[in-house]
Structure 1
């Protein structure tokens, strides 16, 4: 489950990723929309009454609003021609203390229910369905339970489990103790071992609050909205979590988890009637209407601004150790249920902050006072926050003055018309771009507004808001400036919050936890201690038992399609460069990619490649400075980026392709402009502005440093794989802890001249048509135009313009040959074992062990894939999460590596032992045919996850894996048996057989430091 510290505040259209799905230019009826267009307001359907039916052409959907007659439950259905159907139910949850009751309840309701009394039906359904998404979220003021699937039978199965979990959970005491918190002997089997706090949410929130950005955002929200539910931590303050009792948890469920307090949302092409019938019969018909007291009052506005301060842990990875202060000015704005005001404030926010042309970017980022903008939060009433992180303490007053002055300048000067147009163009792109998780994006986007009784359908009518906005600007050219005066200049509800590092921060946290622990222990009688020991044994006993999940619904392996859907591509050349053309219903968008090989790049430049990728599109090109370049990219494209790409060969572990991937998209009408921008980036990028480079370096280094506390398991996995394959070594160089430390060193350099000189050297090796291949996804009607434009681009950037070769599409697969020609063998690479420990300022660990196995086309790859899923579900989940208290953990297979990992884990050696015991469990064959079948379902749910039109054919383009190779792998997955699983477990993972790497990121650990087998960084 994922705990969301903040709800969306209705000010972030961009984050919601609105995407159109239908290939037509105009809204036209589809089977899904035609069915619901027949409904009439007032019509009764399975206990519900239709309130309104509204076509939303912008998003190619028809919305149906309904109310449940008996309970008053609200319902919104978005009918759309999309097979990836989604369900979600959200409940307004308004805690009034820091115990994390809604968050712990979110975990506990998914641990068994009346109809499905087995333990952990949520995690068990992950392996009994073909879901494309399953999760649950706790926000500041609501809890949401969404899932999605492309299979109709699966939808009904999951809906049944979710409804029963939410409205009829068991809420057992042992589940509360496991998921929330408990006092227990460190070793549950030894009553003499010390008593400690345990619990999944307890450890999750310790991990969450090891992220300084999260600490700041949470404190900011609590202090800006101090008078009601936003003044507390909905996820749980770690030291307040042990104040929550099981009785309080059950009471919170009784008062908040009632259909009268619920909002149901369904999306996709399945019939609405079927959903309504099942929801009414299985849940809502068993309730009567109540009047839930969960409404959130508006925060009383202050008559004068306030200031506050918070401390945090020093960041060892910070770009500048002497600049670790954060300052933010936050303003309480308007009610988010006013959709036009919310839209206007969203645009205003972007105009003031986003990109190098924004006033606050110019005023705060470019003077290099700090490294990046600080956090933003939001709730029932929108807020706007502006500030800096990575500042020196002496600059705090200066930043306050700059913020006030910048608002004054905006009021005086307004915004350029072209910047406003660029922003509106971005919204047009977002509406046309199609994603595979549109339903989930939609559910997330409407959640906050709908939660406070705003109209979700009005929120979806984006074109109406754009028209209204344009009219407002036309009627009053100072429309936006007046908003700035009202919401910022004259607003007395302003919080100025500073944060500074405290060297003793972690020590104080440890001490506070120890004091809390001792206080709890001192209140215990001998009888209480005996009871704790016995409950610990009882929980351990239940956790250790094989659970009977036969009550849960499940798909069968026979429900999986035996063959893959073939993606048709054509190949040809443009200007002599191999190109893959894939015709798709892209809704008027063109998607361009190019892979540029790094094979000729000298070794000393390799570490600089990610930096090159992050700055090459942001420093100016041709006749454009970096501000003009950014403006043109916003006006003419859906974004242009370059990123590193390392792909292992599908048949040989010691071969790989290293390169950089160019990606961009645009509306069909802007294709010449997009390719012209690429031409300028290739032919005349600007590498002469050290001041601009320093700004980008500081932002990049800060972003990397901030990311470790949330993605520590990814860094651990990358590091563990470093010495096992050439691909692993490169991925550590480009995106692991090695890159984080390198960027910190670059950020600390007083003079970046040498770095500036390095960039053109990299450019000569990378941006070279001789080592390139391209891919274009577009509509059939526009493909020939795209091919012609691409030919012009390639001829413009060719080193010899006389070598102009005509565009043509030919049947032979030159792309595959081009890909194979760029694959490189690493002759000197020798796999070796290594254990690495990174001491980090966290109270929890991220642990990984990687084992070298076989490539994608090897006959054993399928068995290892099934083994990883089965071991995760049937062994590691119980050992690492349930018994160990980590937020998550498991195994995965890919890139020739079998990888174990854990996330926000209180343990280290115990988890490594669980990894090894998991292998013993597999070798001993302690699993059933049902376990194998469930693992196959889980693997196929990932293999068959939906692919957006923009990404069709990309697997083939990037890795050379054809549909034929995918089908062969699919058949091997179906053929996996218990014998093949036991065989691969022993042959690749058994002691004496494996070549493995281990990595841990976590707090200081004397046991590891004293062990000479570990390398401590």
Structure 2
């Protein structure tokens, strides 16, 4: 068909799909199609990319091919298509040894449009020198308009990788891979080592494209319910038919095995948020395993890895985590199948340097213990149960998950269809265990005990690390500058002006295909929900095709909780399902959860009211899922947690606190923009204030202080107090998503659960100063009611906060108080945020400023937020936010710009919802289908006048109530400005300790 030959057609009933394997006759391009009854269709093309240096050539190429192509020569068609399509996903990834370009959409015409743009981008890119400077690296005057300003390094990938390597976990993982596979492509940094990026030339970039981005080196994947024939025809006509077969020679050879183990050491920057300054070391032992294209061996080793490391019953958890030698496992832990030959790693972070030998001994001793005793049958069954649940659970991005799942093995010529047949591997695994009860122990002996290809990598903080990095960068910069003649410098200045001019010009994107607003469905599909009660507790039922899984949620109100306990709620949520309950200790509880459920979790919820800015709902959400046969067991587990949670194990709590504090500290460098926006909005609405308490830097610092406490008894005492208020059926409402056949069974089991916990129905008086609580009967189609907290006298307050962090880049946030979801201006602000991002802020913050990302968006809590991510600038970015508002007010945008922004908003509004999550917006937020339809109609109706009006009324200087926050490195400009409140992460340790003493 259309230049392709079908090689294999295989039904995969486990995943409800048919896999069709093809080869392109002329070029040899490999193709896999997964036909499945899913409207969220996906396309992906991946190339095996094997760099031999750390200049980041595949990563910079990934950015640059998306900057214009033969058929679509306008600058940045990729970002422009975000606003001309209804895509549910659009991105590109650079892995260690492949580069992948996936997109998904539910619209057939959109699929063809995006396919055309993607094919042209990867096979026929412009690769202009100017795009290489912008996306990769360049020398440029600090102020491009001032030839006398100093020359500096700029570039999106250059700044992105500086930001990426400010994350110590990422840094460690990179070193580990480079040193475990030292003989080929895995020994270099495919994303780019910031100090090596300036060694890459434009010529080398073009050469890399010519040798790697060829159909003979490509693997194409499509998924969904659109006909395969149409895809093949378009792919052949628009791209593959224009090539002849080559031999790309990109194969990755096997890593030669070492005859004896090795040890290495690296350094990193100290972590200002670490609970203990003297315990910031990481040590991990890594083993080289087998080739990932052996599907069954890879499956076995992956299972074996989970048995060894996952959960409190795992031998390495008992041996390494519970003695509290470190705060958590090392950032790389367990099986890693992302390279040609897999690896297994085990170790600790947050440990003292003196404990290194102790940790190594424990690791070797634990391996001996496993070989001797093996694993309990029940643990193996729990793991196989988890696989069964994962296969049945339907996610909204199933196609993308499949593409990622098969990418590595397929990249090295493994069989992708074999990978999808998970049941076959499970059957084979059970058979192997029956034939040889020591099957797993023999694997441990072979891959761990007898394996001489073993690396022990330690990492310790160095107070001068960031200074050394900065000095090294300065040295490379000066070397580059000293080699320049005056005419070179003049040339750099002129090229800088040309780039600035190109970035400032309005681009003609008329060559790009686009959907029209008229292509968007005018109405939303209605999700029927049915309201009933289970033993007096409100219950929402939503019948959905869930593949035999039952999804249970319960919202428990926080309204009676005393104010002084609020900071502890996230900790309570993270530990309540992990401390043990009833007759079970935490190990037995974890085992039963794995055997009987798809997971049980509790999370904080701050839900702004959709009609009023100063009202919100506060609570915790209980979530779990199970197969129908396990319904009684799941509710029994919840019953034990409600009736008899265990709050007596101080040592277990210490372990959970350390892991939680470490996880929060590690997460800042990845989600800095979210922390900045949360901080910026925390004094603008009552909900914003609570959100900062639960999810902001306040919570990170609080958990750091808890982790520093020598005695956790006071914390243990607060947990039962919180439980008394939260786990109370009087303050609950529930929801169940299941198939029609399972619904009545689910309700019956929920009723008996409610009767079982009825002893908790004592009523608690609210201890809530300055808060008026009033039950608001938000009548939805189904008559559920939600109790909201009102703050009638709340006064929003403007505040500028700078939080100094040991990062070489900034995260900037500015939040403005506007209107709630149901207000008529909300739709206009949504469209305004998208338009401002695409048409102005992207150019200012990313293209000119060199940040990895930035933009504006309207949040559900009525806050309009500006943000930037991994940004070399701070105050300049705040000025770009202001310029963005002025750009809107100057009315330089067109009707086309408005329509594109609407498309972008609708692609989010209409993103697919999994059967497990249908009806959740009305259950959690009280937002009914009718309200969504009204919002939809308002989006369609947004006009130019509406946009000018909301920009003036809400975002203009003088009219706006806003907060500003920056997380970033030391900043003298801000320190000299008295309008900023400066917080230094480094000082938190002393503050924390003095508070404990107090």
TM (normalized to structure 1)?
0.94
CA displacement 1:328-373 (0-9 Å, x = unmatched): 0000000000000000000000000000000000000000000111
The number of residue pairs the alignment matches comes to 965
The structural deviation recorded for 1:70 is 0.3
2:329 is the counterpart of 1:373: yes
Counterparts of 1:1012 and 1:592, CA distance in 2: 51
Match of 1:18 in 2: none
The structural deviation recorded for 1:819 is 6.1
2:371 is the counterpart of 1:411: yes
Partner-residue secondary structure (3-state), 1:822:
strand
Match of 2:147 in 1: 191
Match of 1:928 in 2: 894
Superposed, which structure 2 residues align to 1:45-84 within 5 Å?
Answer: 45-84=1-40
Partner-residue secondary structure (3-state), 2:670:
helix
Counterparts of 1:588 and 1:991, CA distance in 2: 55
The structural deviation recorded for 1:815 is 7.1
- Pick one of 426, 430, 438 that aligns with 1:470: 430
The structural deviation recorded for 1:375 is 2.6
Superposed, which structure 2 residues align to 1:375-774 within 5 Å?
Answer: 375-376=331-332, 377=336, 378-774=338-734
2:794 is the counterpart of 1:839: no
Mark the CA change 1:134 to 1:755 in structure 2 (over 3 Å): closer, same or farther: same
Counterparts of 2:91 and 2:580, CA distance in 1: 42
- Pick one of 113, 132, 136 that aligns with 2:69: 113
Counterparts of 1:830 and 1:625, CA distance in 2: 47
2:932 is the counterpart of 1:966: yes
The structural deviation recorded for 1:293 is 1.1
Mark the CA change 1:185 to 1:470 in structure 2 (over 3 Å): closer, same or farther: same
Match of 2:251 in 1: 295
Match of 2:867 in 1: 901
Match of 1:848 in 2: 813
The structural deviation recorded for 1:795 is 1.4
Q: Is the 8 A contact 2:779 2:785 kept in 1?
A: no
- Pick one of 830, 854, 869 that aligns with 1:889: 854
- Pick one of 254, 273, 286 that aligns with 1:317: 273
The structural deviation recorded for 1:799 is 2.8
Q: Is the 8 A contact 1:578 1:818 kept in 2?
A: no
Of the structure 1 ranges 104-113 and 920-929, higher mean CA displacement relative to structure 2 is found in 920-929
Counterparts of 2:760 and 2:444, CA distance in 1: 53
Match of 2:951 in 1: 985
Q: Is the 8 A contact 1:375 1:385 kept in 2?
A: no
Superposed, which structure 2 residues align to 1:934-953 within 5 Å?
Answer: 934-953=900-919
Counterparts of 2:801 and 2:260, CA distance in 1: 52
Counterparts of 1:71 and 1:88, CA distance in 2: 18
The structural deviation recorded for 1:818 is 7.8
CA displacement 1:604-646 (0-9 Å, x = unmatched): 0000000000000000001110000000000000000000000
- Pick one of 783, 795, 798 that aligns with 2:743: 783
Q: Is the 8 A contact 1:91 1:257 kept in 2?
A: yes
The structural deviation recorded for 1:179 is 0.1
Give 4+ residue runs of structure 1 displaced > 2 Å after superposition.
375-378, 799-803, 812-821
The structural deviation recorded for 1:829 is 2.4
CA displacement 1:500-555 (0-9 Å, x = unmatched): 00000011111111111000000000110011001000000000000000000000
Partner-residue secondary structure (3-state), 1:290:
coil
Q: Is the 8 A contact 2:680 2:800 kept in 1?
A: yes
Counterparts of 1:837 and 1:406, CA distance in 2: 46
Partner-residue secondary structure (3-state), 1:904:
strand
Counterparts of 2:758 and 2:101, CA distance in 1: 53
CA displacement 1:851-870 (0-9 Å, x = unmatched): 00000010100000000000
The structural deviation recorded for 1:817 is 9.0
Partner-residue secondary structure (3-state), 2:347:
strand
Of the structure 1 ranges 824-833 and 172-181, higher mean CA displacement relative to structure 2 is found in 824-833
Mark the CA change 1:366 to 1:983 in structure 2 (over 3 Å): closer, same or farther: same
Q: Is the 8 A contact 2:181 2:255 kept in 1?
A: yes
Q: Is the 8 A contact 2:84 2:903 kept in 1?
A: yes
Q: Is the 8 A contact 1:140 1:379 kept in 2?
A: yes
Counterparts of 2:174 and 2:19, CA distance in 1: 35
Q: Is the 8 A contact 2:556 2:620 kept in 1?
A: yes
Mark the CA change 1:709 to 1:800 in structure 2 (over 3 Å): closer, same or farther: closer
- Pick one of 131, 140, 144 that aligns with 1:175: 131
The structural deviation recorded for 1:668 is 0.8
Q: Is the 8 A contact 2:534 2:754 kept in 1?
A: yes
Partner-residue secondary structure (3-state), 1:934:
helix
- Pick one of 241, 247, 255 that aligns with 1:285: 241
Unpaired stretches in structure 1, ≥5 consecutive residues = 1-44, 804-811
Counterparts of 2:395 and 2:684, CA distance in 1: 35
2:327 is the counterpart of 1:362: no
Q: Is the 8 A contact 1:819 1:959 kept in 2?
A: no
The structural deviation recorded for 1:322 is 1.1
Mark the CA change 1:801 to 1:988 in structure 2 (over 3 Å): closer, same or farther: closer
Partner-residue secondary structure (3-state), 1:223:
helix
Match of 2:989 in 1: none
- Pick one of 213, 230, 251 that aligns with 2:169: 213
TM (normalized to structure 2)?
0.96
Counterparts of 2:31 and 2:786, CA distance in 1: 55
2:955 is the counterpart of 1:995: no
Alpha-carbon RMSD: 1.2
Match of 2:58 in 1: 102
CA displacement 1:53-98 (0-9 Å, x = unmatched): 0001110000000000000000000000000000000000000000
The structural deviation recorded for 1:814 is 6.9
Q: Is the 8 A contact 2:531 2:782 kept in 1?
A: no
Counterparts of 1:801 and 1:910, CA distance in 2: 55
Q: Is the 8 A contact 2:728 2:761 kept in 1?
A: no
Counterparts of 1:827 and 1:987, CA distance in 2: 23
Mark the CA change 1:821 to 1:300 in structure 2 (over 3 Å): closer, same or farther: closer
Q: Is the 8 A contact 1:816 1:960 kept in 2?
A: no
Mark the CA change 1:802 to 1:126 in structure 2 (over 3 Å): closer, same or farther: closer
Partner-residue secondary structure (3-state), 2:671:
helix
Partner-residue secondary structure (3-state), 2:191:
coil
- Pick one of 191, 194, 199 that aligns with 1:238: 194
